[in-house]
Structure 1
Amino acid sequence: MIKNINSEHKRTSQLDKGLDTLDTAPEVLRSLATFTCVCGMIGNGLVVWLLSCRGQRTPFCTYVLHLAIADFLFLLCTAVTLYLETPVLAYEVMERVRSFAYTASLSLLTAISTQRCLSVLFPIWYKYHRPQYLSAVVCALLWALSLLMSVVAALFCSELWLGVESQCLTVDSVFSFLVMGIFTPVMVLSSVTLFVRVRRSSRQWGRRPTRLYVVVLASVVVFLLCALPVGISWFFLYWLDLPQEQKTLFRYVACLSSALSSSANPVIYFVVGSQGRRSLREPLGAVLRRALREEPEGEGRETPSTGTSDLGA
Structure 2
Amino acid sequence: MDMSVTAWEAELTTIYGSDQEFYHHYTWKIILEILTVIVALVGLSGNTVVLWILGFHMRRNAFSVYIVNLAGADFLFLFCFIIYFLYSTFNLHITKEVISRFVSIVAMFAYISGLSILSTISTERCISVLWPIWYHCRRPTHMSAIMCALLWALSLLLSMLEGNYCDFPNWGVHHVWCQVLDFITVAWLILLFVLLSGSSLALMTRLLCGSQRLLPTRLYMTIMITVLVFLLCGLPFGFHWFLIVRFSNEYLALFHLSKTVQLLSCVNSCANPFIYFFVGSFRQRWQKQRHTLRLVLQRAFQDTPEVDELGESLPGETLYMSGTRQRQ
TM range (shorter): 0.7 to 0.9
User: Which residue number corresponds to residue 154 of structure 1?
Assistant: 163
**Secondary structure at the counterpart of residue 293 of structure 1:** coil
d(CA) in 1 for partners of 2:164 and 2:117?
24
**Secondary structure at the counterpart of residue 56 of structure 1:** coil
1:124 matched to 2:127? The reply is no
1:43 matched to 2:51? The reply is no
1:59 matched to 2:67? The reply is no
Is contact 1:89-1:160 (8 Å) kept? no
Q: Which amino acid counterpart does residue 195 of structure 1 have in structure 2? A: M
Return closer, same or farther for 1:278/1:66 CA change in 2, 3 Å cut-off: same
d(CA) in 2 for partners of 1:277 and 1:221?
24
Which of 1 and 2 has greater Rg?
A: 1
User: Which residue number corresponds to residue 179 of structure 2?
Assistant: 169
Pick the structure with more helix per residue. 1
**Secondary structure at the counterpart of residue 133 of structure 2:** helix
Q: Which has the higher mean CA deviation after the structures are superposed, 182-191 or 245-254?
A: 245-254
Q: RMSD of the TM alignment (CA)?
A: 2.6
Residue 148 (structure 2) aligned to one of 139, 143, 155 = 139
Q: Which amino acid counterpart does residue 281 of structure 2 have in structure 1? A: S
Q: Which amino acid counterpart does residue 34 of structure 1 have in structure 2? A: V
Is contact 2:280-2:299 (8 Å) kept? yes
The 5-angstrom pairing of residues 5-154 of structure 1 reads 17-54=20-57, 56-84=59-87, 87-91=95-99, 92-154=101-163
Is contact 2:245-2:251 (8 Å) kept? no
Q: Which amino acid counterpart does residue 272 of structure 1 have in structure 2? A: V
1:278 matched to 2:288? The reply is no
Residue 159 of structure 1, CA deviation: 4.9
Is contact 2:240-2:258 (8 Å) kept? no
Q: Which runs of 4+ in 1 moved over 4 A?
A: 14-17, 159-163
Is contact 1:215-1:268 (8 Å) kept? yes
Residue 161 of structure 1, CA deviation: 6.0
d(CA) in 1 for partners of 2:140 and 2:176?
43
d(CA) in 1 for partners of 2:27 and 2:176?
37
Residue 241 of structure 1, CA deviation: 4.0
Return closer, same or farther for 1:177/1:125 CA change in 2, 3 Å cut-off: same
d(CA) in 1 for partners of 2:84 and 2:216?
41
TM-score, with length taken from structure 1 = 0.84
d(CA) in 2 for partners of 1:109 and 1:33?
22
d(CA) in 1 for partners of 2:286 and 2:98?
43
User: Which residue number corresponds to residue 178 of structure 1?
Assistant: 188
**Secondary structure at the counterpart of residue 242 of structure 1:** helix
Residue 277 of structure 1, CA deviation: 6.2
Residue 100 of structure 1, CA deviation: 0.2
1:89-123 Cα deviation digits (max 9, x unpaired): 32120110000000000000000000000110011
Residue 82 of structure 1, CA deviation: 3.3
TM-score, with length taken from structure 2 = 0.80
Is contact 2:73-2:110 (8 Å) kept? yes
Number of residue pairs aligned between Structure 1 and Structure 2: 286
* Identity value in percent: 36
Return closer, same or farther for 1:17/1:158 CA change in 2, 3 Å cut-off: closer
Q: Which amino acid counterpart does residue 110 of structure 1 have in structure 2? A: S
Q: Which amino acid counterpart does residue 132 of structure 1 have in structure 2? A: T
Return closer, same or farther for 1:126/1:285 CA change in 2, 3 Å cut-off: same
Q: Which amino acid counterpart does residue 138 of structure 2 have in structure 1? A: H
Is contact 2:104-2:163 (8 Å) kept? no
Residue 189 (structure 1) aligned to one of 193, 198, 203 = 198
d(CA) in 1 for partners of 2:127 and 2:32?
40
Residue 198 of structure 1, CA deviation: 1.9
Is contact 1:222-1:261 (8 Å) kept? yes
